[in-house]
Structure 1
Amino acid sequence: MRKELRAGDVAVAPLPGGGFGACQVSGITDEAVTVHALDWFSPEPPDLDDLRDAGPVPLAYRGLVDRLAQISVFRSNSPMPPDFDWIGNLPVPPGVPDHVNAYSGWASPFGDMARQRHWDERVPAETKAAFRAARESESVTADLGAGPVTLPTSTSSLHLTSGTIPVPATGPVDWTILDLLPRCAQVLWAGPDRGLTEALTRHPLVTDLHWSDAPPVVDLRATEVRSLRVAGDSLREIRLPSAAHRLSLGAARERVTVRAADDGRWLDLELYQVTPSTRAPSGLTQVRSVSLTGDGVLSAATLAGFAAAHTLELRWTAPPGRLDDPSLLLHVPSLQLVEMFEAYGVDADITSSLPALRHLSIYGLRGSVARELRARLRRTDVELSLRGAKTDSWLAANLDNPFRDWADDDTRAGAAACKAYATALRAIDKLAAAAPAAVAPASAADAAAAADAVVSGAEAILRELIDKLHAIDEKYEFIDTIRREEAGDAFAELAARARVPSDLAADWFDEWRDF
């Protein structure tokens, strides 16, 4: 952290969805800085005099009580957003604690403030009353048109894509289910609109929407949706409410046009399922924060049109973690904060395409690149945070191993997990290659018998993998929720290589695991 902060320092920054607010340093320790939002909103940035009488922001949205919009931020690995403008120092308001045991990023109090403003100004009194009256122990029965379902009245997320709630395959959908779920703030939906948008206009508490297999035009302007995750091969145009602050857009067959307030000035934009040929959406020339997520290879060409962006996140979900055409980053000249994850194919020359760089953070890179970056940036003003560096020899053996990053937290546990996976992978591939089905069976019966033999053999291999992971967890107390999910993904991929039915593989994993 380059800026030397003091208790009472005040920063002005854009609020999610538009306008400006302010935060103040509550207190500082060697480990963290604690900040709280100040109760201020204006279309233009305030000055220090405007904020002299501003107190902290008490939170009351969605049942919160006795809390302020306040967070602690770790000093070591929390880069300060480029649009924080530190304008001076004021006395900390009475009653504001100098530290809280809740940790997040610098922008967290601003997000809380935006959510509180939505609750105060956009949610009707009767909706708030129904929210408060809902009880965990109570349930309701509803029917969307394909059969009844019973849900707790306290349900906050309505998942209509998992198959657990009956939805008619075609025809009308009865959206009165939302009237019966007074705490529902998120909806997951797939396919044509079928009355969804109209229903959302009547339910201002729903601010989070996930929409897969979306229709050509998604028009949410009359809703209160603030965060949208959307994808679909047919998708061509998205029309967002003026206060929307986050858009996660999956790759589509053709370029998507997005209509947002001030050409995306107030949006955080994530593009996922990205490939090197993915074209960025049009209409978002003023976006400040962009994230790309994809397998293997990304391209800086995808960033064309985002010349105003100051923050970039690149996240690879599979090897080799390479960025093509890095020189095209020069067409985004304002980039100051760049974060990368699993960037094993990125070299140190990338810094030559980032003239405005102020903070570079990489989690997962080659050790040789880490050394060169430290040498290049040692006498510059760039803050550098590098974690998870690995040797070339280690990567040669483990780059494709889904447990490769486990070694970052515990070298021995991670190495054991990588070895267990590699052993299972070799056995699965050997089993599949040796199966009679691989050499054109004489009959359908022979093919079925061969497939059964492979599944039977895979069962023993996968069971051994789970046993080894159990032993690792017992020895190192290592497998937390995230690693359990990563283990489940790896298990499913191995099972798929042996053509084990996915539902059977899921049953095995849930039945065998004890971590």
Structure 2
Amino acid sequence: MVPTVGDIYCVYVENLQQYAACQVTGLKETGSKGSRQLAAVLQLDWTGDQRPDETELHQMKPLICSFYFWKNRLDHTFVNANVPSNYILAGNIPPLVTEQTNSYSGGWLIGDSLYRQRQWDAIDETRRIRFKKAAADFEEISVGHQMMRRNSSVIRNFKPRSEEDVAELAKLPCLTNIQMDGYSESLIPFLTKEPIINELHITNHGQKSLDLSKSHLTKLVIDVSGLERLTLNTKMKSLNFTGNLPVGLCIDAHEDGKWLTLNVAASLPHINGVPRLDGLHIREITELDLAHLVKRYPELTELRLWGKPGSLIHLESIQHLKALQEFSTYDLFGFIGEQFPNPEQFPKLSKLWLTSLPAEAAKSIKTRYKKAAAAGLELEISKPRKPEWLAENLTNPFRDWDGRDHIKSAHAKKAAQLYKQCLKEIRQLAQSQISNEAIQKQLFSMVENYTQTFNKMDAKTGFIETVEREEIHVVLASLLDQLEQELGNESTIKVSHEALYEVFDQLRDF
């Protein structure tokens, strides 16, 4: 649904536990030949337990943002003109501002700035004044072993070894984000008394238990290796795990994780204490069973999944996530279109982004969700992948090299690319009309290049050990087998396996 200039929309905002409102102040077309329409959306300084009535509508004012580095600015941005399906039209009045905006954002995030402004207003006024005064101070000062501007908001590579090291942070009145390697017992008291600091990245802390319940953090990125218990505060919204996730890690979270979004790598996290988790992001997936995920975290409103690439099992299970509002995948396969639930099974869905997925599934889902998109669903389905792409990427036999301790990422990528190149040559040979002699000549050349490439990769680091040596040979054999299969039994061309293996053995240095 495309709005009309002057329209005021309201939406229930969980963080505020109230309705918030915005106004559409303008419309414009962009893209080639006006292929995309944008709406200028102004956030309003209004909340209510119910939708606004006519009187409230005419009393609404723009939200003036002064939190952190904002200087009494309007939150006025261009977004996709398609109004989300959960937004409610409250009425239409003349635009509250007539100035055009030059800002753009990814979506209708109504209520976000209002929530941040209220959190800012709740901070002691003296502390807020100190922040604003320092915000314009670009003087270089010494903080521990670093030279930084006084108005710096982020400190990186902070390595506290003592209480004095942590005390140095007080020199930065605008500090909101600490990225540290190491730990000091004085960190917790410092975070407790500093309401401005809302983000912490921490590695090599060496702790089995961390209690952040009295901090003011809203985002935590933490290496959980060796951690057994993590106690969070009530404001925490984003939790990102790095390192080796221990089985049975216990998290003490406000309302069992109802307000928390968790970001983890590779697999479904088995964590105690957050059964009501609100959002879940899983990256680097090779295989994920969604039936287990739905059972463990049934109240998810947001689910984002990134493949390595990888496969999804029991995709149809997500139909049981009745509170789901946003669902996105990238580089994930192993399913067909019929397994993806129909629009009516997602009563609250407002965003569906599927990127790099099976071509058949992409076509099926796009067709079934066309009406939902017209009604306000933010739908984006792109990069449909055909079986040939999956063979080169999803089932690439050198995928597993990426992540092995003794193999550099660059070597793993080069091996995977080499396989794709050889596979392409095999397909071209199978479809060519050249003579048997010419095909044999190209095969010898391919095997020579294949072997010499690994020789060069192994020359400096010697990473090819018994397992890798066997894998390289097996992959070569599978390539030759595939050529025979594509040629067919009736072909007069015969692949000379033994002669090609002999070339491989004579040339290899690993």
The partner residue of 2:225 within 233, 252, 258 is 233
Q: 1:339 aligns with which of 312, 322, 328?
A: 328
- How far off is 1:275 after superposition? 1.3
Query: Could you tell me which amino acid in structure 2 is paired with residue 101 of structure 1?
Result: S
8 Å contact kept, 1:15–1:111: no
1:60-99 correspondence runs (5 A): 60-65=66-71, 67-75=73-81, 80=84, 84-92=86-94, 94-95=96-97, 97=99, 99=101
1:292 and 2:282 correspond: yes
Q: What is the TM-score of this pair, normalised by structure 2?
A: 0.68
Query: Could you tell me which of 47, 52, 55 is aligned with 1:47?
Result: 52
Name 1:352's counterpart in structure 2: 341
Query: Deviation digits for residues 121-180 of structure 1, max 9, x if unmatched?
Result: 21532443344235564122233xxxx3322212211123xxxx5543xx5453122211
CA distance in 2, matches of 1:248, 1:34: 33
Runs of 4+ that moved beyond 6 A: 379-382, 418-425
Question: How many angstroms apart in 2 are the aligned matches of 1:138 and 1:51?
Answer: 46
Q: Partners in 2 of 1:135 and 1:238 — Cα distance?
A: 37
Question: Given the alignment of the two structures, is residue 431 of structure 1 paired with residue 431 of structure 2, yes or no?
Answer: no
The equivalent residue for 1:270 is 262
Per mean C-alpha deviation after superposition, the further-off stretch among 172-181 and 84-93 is 84-93
Q: Does 1:390 align with 2:392?
A: no
Separation in structure 1 between the aligned mates of residue 187 and residue 98 of structure 2, nearest angstrom: 42
1:223 matched to 2:215: yes
**Alpha-carbon distance change, 218 to 106 in structure 1, aligned in 2, over 3 angstroms:** farther
- Provide the rounded CA distance (Å) in 2 between the counterparts of 1:87 and 1:439: 64
Which residue type is aligned with residue 47 of structure 1? Answer: P
Offset at residue 186 of structure 1 (A): 0.4
Q: 1:119 to 1:376 in 2, by over 3 A?
A: closer
User: 2 CA distance for matches of 1:185 and 1:133?
Assistant: 13
- Give 1:253's aligned residue: 246
Secondary structure of the equivalent of 1:132? Answer: helix
Of 83, 90, 106, the match for 1:104: 106
Percent identity, aligned pairs only?
Answer: 18
Q: Look up the equivalent residue of 1:63 and give its one-letter code.
A: F
* Alignment partners' CA distance in 1, 2:264 and 2:278: 17
Distance in 2 (alpha carbons) for counterparts of 1:139 and 1:258: 40
1:149 to 140, 146, 150: 146
- Are the structure 2 counterparts of residues 398 and 264 from structure 1 closer, same or farther at C-alpha, using a change threshold of 3 Å? closer
Task: Please name the residue that 1:279 is paired with.
Answer: 270
Q: How many corresponding residue pairs?
A: 406
Per-residue deviation, residues 403-454 of structure 1 (Å, max 9, x unmatched): xxxxxxxxxxxxxxx97997799665342457895899xxxxxxxxxxxxxx
Partner residue, 1:27: 26
SS in structure 1 opposite 2:210?
strand
Q: CA deviation at 1:213?
A: 4.7
Deviations 1:19-40 (A, max 9, x none): 5533232333342122222113
User: C-alpha displacement at 1:86, in angstroms?
Assistant: 1.0
The reply to whether residue 189 of structure 1 matches residue 189 of structure 2 is: no
Q: Deviations over 1:217-270 (max 9, x none)?
A: 333232221222233133344333333333334562123444444444433x13
Aligned to 2:234, what secondary structure does the other structure show?
A: coil
Structure 2 residue corresponding to 1:315, chosen from 285, 306, 323: 306
Measure how far apart 1:377 and its partner are: 4.3
User: Which shifted more, 26-35 or 374-383?
Assistant: 374-383
Q: Shift of the alpha carbon at 1:396?
A: 2.6
Instruction: Output the CA distance in 2 between the equivalents of 1:291 and 1:190.
Output: 24
Q: Displacement of 1:206 after TM fit?
A: 0.8
Partners of 2:120 and 2:216 in 1: how far apart?
Answer: 11
CA distance in 2, matches of 1:46, 1:221: 35
Match of 2:202 among 186, 211, 224: 211
Q: Does the C-alpha gap of structure 1 residues 375 and 305 become closer, same or farther in structure 2, counting only changes over 3 Å?
A: same
Q: Output aligned runs, 1:489-508, within 5 Å.
A: none
Does the 8 Å contact 1:309/1:332 carry over to 2?
Answer: yes
TM-superposed deviation, 1:103? 2.5
Aligned pairs (5 A) from 1:359-508: 359-377=351-369, 383=377, 384-398=379-393, 428-432=453-457
CA distance in 1, matches of 2:182, 2:342: 41
- Other structure's SS at 2:6 match: coil
- Measured after TM superposition, the shift of residue 332 of structure 1 is 2.0
Partner SS state of residue 24, structure 2: strand
Q: Could you say what secondary structure the match of 1:64 adopts?
A: coil
Residue 205 of structure 1 deviates from its aligned partner by: 1.2
Q: CA deviation at 1:185?
A: 0.8
The structural deviation recorded for 1:106 is: 1.3
Q: Does 1:304 align with 2:329?
A: no
Give the distance between the partners of 2:302 and 2:159, measured in 1 at CA.
41
Unaligned runs of 5+ in 2: 30-36, 400-415, 423-448, 466-510
Structure index of larger Rg: 2
Report SS of the residue matched to 1:33: strand
Measure how far apart 1:366 and its partner are. Answer: 2.6
CA RMSD of superposed structures (Å): 3.9
